[in-house]
Chains A and B, each alone.
Chain A
């Protein structure tokens, strides 16, 4: 199972921007053109968000039960860095609850192999690299799974353009993507990207029975460095068990110019 706290943040974002493209209105005439158009949208979306460098932010994660009541709240600081040619690096430090304050997670994402992950537990004053290869497990007891949180690699899916649709005031492309990885917890995903800026607004996840099981939504987009769009909140609702998870972000900072040493495992023990 993937033990990556870090990737929480990391992936929320990557998820949101994985699929980015320039808008094209015309409906595909054939199946082949739908596949081509789907792939095109995905590639453009990725290209659209690359080049941001690094940033930091604060995040609050709330787990809600069936009745919508918040049962668990956690806050953390995170730092994020783009790695050209590979998946991104992320550092997550817990701020609350008090008894886990100072716990740090470091993730080095990889496109072609399992991510590298480290955890630091301040009470034990110990850091450990965690070896794990699962991905369907829940991320910190939330409705997000590690798979949902990981930066999606374009090559790991097949795409197909489905239709255009307006949601929450945005004209969107609806693209179907099918995971090639057999270990994926999903059979299919439907992705909503707006035509204007290729921001990710919604994903519907379909389980092994091809039943719509979870819905991801991103809201409150703002542009940083005038072109990198980030949401103020993302949420995942589980349609099977009725529970949901809401993550809200604040204090985005794109001016940090973080270096690789800021993401080296030796930073874990630093106070």
Chain B
């Protein structure tokens, strides 16, 4: 390979070759134009994921729920004011006119069933705002705060917040979602201005999709430029040559775009996670190029011609760059075991990018450097780096026992901390708090104690079976069982509807507020209910079309994954043991999907970490031709990861599914420093140096410190991503890189000193 590049460099037509190479690269890169972007949170589940299949079956049985929620909060603490109810009426009325709106449900159009003398009255709670008097207001308030389907559901228990649900048609495309959201947003702003007591937030599936778009735009307009700027600046600060910096950045951009191009040609659309790949590639690729240029600078500084310096640098750096690229690629490829498709794609995409970066760094970069005759400033040693290295070697030489022990103790502490880390993920966690959607979700969750929604589908196993009294009784008992769980804040099913109608058919007698006595009675009450349903709603939201299944919707507090899973486990067991007629057909919902995804992914995650560890270790053993050093290299690479998560749990109490991807990915990246160190250590050892550890550190210290700074600052930039998953990846990775550097400069030398000490004593 090196010989081949040398030939290219010597060729008189190297300019043409350079041009042709760039042309090839551009063809590959042109695949970028074929890239689409997938905004659907469902991309995080494989098509054949059994939980997703169950969820989609559920949607097929009942109805897909596309929504826009207006979360309306009164600043003065009560929505039960004439002005505020008028506002809700107006918002309800206006929301009806929104594009794609199929149905609006709010406090004011809630169907009130009541007994008036001998008659049954079925009417919207507030038909017209003109009807609002103090008396009407207190009627509405007392009805709403006592109705099980309103309080805690449409109106918060403290009466300060109300929800307005707009059932939307399934969107025809991304553009339409954005347009509809915009319309809702304008409406909310207009209402806030007209009614200053109100604060209005927007949530729902349309808001999620819109925020995906906003976060994407934010990343494209601020994160990418920031990232690029930082990389450019750092490269320039280290290389002190504009030309070299430009060449490095050409290599960086080409590497990223090549990976994207390959993906485009393969027909994969990007999603919020894989959109971070270009940045990850950029960060990793810059290390290769910097190593190459630092070498060129050094040799040129020692008096070699530009051509000789390039060749020397290539010869010197080829193997380390090759090995580190290889381990990084292994790390990324091991993500292929993940249950989460975007993580797999991120792995493949980054692996392609790293491979491209390697090729561009060893072929294109030397060619460009020679062709353009880059003028390099002298190689400049950074004084502070030398100071740092002095400090680290003397510390680890004198106090190797203490340093090793302290590190081990901290690692153990971190490990203990991690065991307390809870897992939690849901759709809203995708975005940072800077987005209005997240703020609205917080507002909604706080007011309604609603973090998750679980949907239970109950099966009677025969046509019209849901009307049978035995089935309904099971359902009622199931709901009472759920109500005993402190994390359950609300349950809803047709049971409440039937009881209320039954009471009103019996002249409002509270004694009749009970389950129907026969299937016929239940079916007929349901028919009566159906006739009273407002526009855009039908029973298919509650019942399967053959009336053999019905659903119980459960609102659960903002709890962790394990509590959610345990509630579901408990429910499943209840049906096996306690239920006489009803069978549990499915327990599903968005939150359930995420919780189960985590469970599913755990095994996959462990597998990918193991494979990454194994393939990296084997590579190291082969490269260093030493079993012992290969194994030794693992210790300073596992500890930083434990460290990082330890720090994380000091700051937060929960972590998302991204953690699983970060571990395998980072292993491949941070192992590089160790490889450089150990290779030099071995060389020094063979040369019979007196202090091989110190020699090795001084030889590679400069380059591992600069690359670590580049990596850490790059990943740190990723921390500004609008997508929480990417931001967390960035912060976790940056922390890992820094702790890996510290450990490589202190912990690894200490271990090596201890070993040497141990060997001395034993001989």
Contacts and interface: CB of A to CB of B under 8 A. Distances in A.
Interface of A: 1, 3-5, 65, 71-72, 94, 97, 99-100, 103, 119, 121-124, 126, 128-134, 136-141, 145, 185, 208-209, 240-241
A3 B124 CA distance: 13
Nearest to A117: B531
A3 B505 contact: no
A99 B532 contact: no
Contacts of A99: 464, 467, 519-520, 522-524
Contacts of B111: 1
B65 interface: no
Given A1-B532, A145-B535, A131 B121 contact: yes
B139 to A, nearest CB: 16
A123 B522 CA distance: 9
A1 B120 CA distance: 12
Contacts, number: 117
B102 A136 contact: no
Contact of B99 (A122, A128, A209): A209
A187 B282 CA distance: 56
A103 B527 contact: yes
Interface string B510-554: 000000111111111101101111111111100001100000000
B760 interface: no
A132 B123 contact: yes
A130 B120 contact: yes
Interface in B248-289: none
Contacts of B505: 121, 124, 126, 128
28 contacts: A1-B124, A3-B531, A71-B540, A71-B546, A99-B520, A100-B523, A121-B525, A122-B520, A124-B502, A126-B505, A126-B506, A129-B118, A129-B119, A129-B120, A130-B119, A131-B122, A132-B122, A134-B123, A134-B124, A136-B534, A137-B532, A137-B533, A138-B535, A138-B536, A138-B538, A140-B530, A141-B539, A208-B97
A95 to B, nearest CB: 13
A40 B740 CA distance: 88
Given A126-B505, A133-B123, A5 B523 contact: no
| 3 cross-chain pairs, A with B, having the tightest CB-CB distances, nearest first | A71-B545, A99-B523, A123-B521
Most central of B467, B521, B530 by chain A CB within 10 Å = B530
A3 B121 CA distance: 10
Most central of A100, A136, A140, A185 by chain B CB within 10 Å = A100
Interface of B: 96-97, 99, 102, 111, 116, 118-124, 127, 169, 464, 467, 502, 505-506, 516-525, 527-528, 530-540, 545-546
A240 B536 CA distance: 10
Chain B interface mostly? mixed
Contact of B528 (A119, A136, A137, A138): A119
Contacts of B527: 94, 100, 103, 140
Given A97-B523, A131-B122, A138-B538, 4 more contacts: A1-B532, A123-B517, A129-B120, A208-B97
A123 B519 CA distance: 9
Contacts of B538: 138, 141
Contacts of B532: 1, 3, 132, 137
A217 B530 CA distance: 24
Given A123-B524, A133-B127, A209-B97, A4 B518 contact: no
Contacts of A240: 102, 169
A178 to B, nearest CB: 17
B531 A5 contact: yes
B691 to A, nearest CB: 77
A103 to B, nearest CB: 5
A124 B501 CA distance: 11
B377 to A, nearest CB: 66
Nearest to B545: A71
Contacts of B518: 123
B665 to A, nearest CB: 42
A122 B120 contact: no
A133 B112 CA distance: 12
Nearest to B97: A208
Contacts of B540: 71, 141
A65 B521 CA distance: 27
Contacts of A130: 119-122
Given A121-B505, A124-B506, A209-B97, A241 B122 contact: no
A129 B540 CA distance: 26
B99 A121 contact: no
A140 B502 CA distance: 19
Nearest to A187: B97
Contacts of B516: 123
Contacts of B537: 138
Contacts of B530: 140-141
Contacts of A3: 122, 528, 531-532
A131 B533 contact: no
A240 B103 CA distance: 12
B123 A1 contact: yes
B523 A140 contact: no
Most central of A5, A72, A94, A99 by chain B CB within 10 Å = A99
